[in-house]
Amino acid sequence: MRHCDTYQIPAYAVPYIANDDPTGLSDLEIELIDGFMASTFPRGCSVDWDTCQQPHFSLSPEFGQPCEVYDAVMYGY
């Protein structure tokens, strides 16, 4: 496993990334999350959720519109 980086992950995407739970997500949101994950981590990844602090607003999350995000340390395989 290699260290990739810290990414601003929209708060709405965390349950889907962490637990594969799409509850409440639109088809577009799922498409955006899947596209980000496939292009950034084609062989999969793990996330150090313990490093995530309180969410904060970002004008430029990794995908989607400006929103509340978590700064997530993500490791690719």
pLDDT value at 38 more than 80: yes
Q: What is the pLDDT of residue 1?
A: 61
Q: In the predicted model, what is the mean pLDDT of residues 59-77?
A: 95
Give percent of the chain above pLDDT 70.
97
Taking alpha carbons only, the member of 33, 27, 28, 37 closest to residue 11 is 33
- Alpha carbons 58 and 24: distance in angstroms, whole number: 21
How far the first Cα of the chain sits from its last, in Å, is 5
Record the pTM. Answer: 0.89
pLDDT value at 52 more than 90: no
Total domain count for the chain? 1
Q: What is the pLDDT of residue 51?
A: 81
Q: Domain limits at 49?
A: 2-76
- Alpha carbons 39 and 73: distance in angstroms, whole number: 17
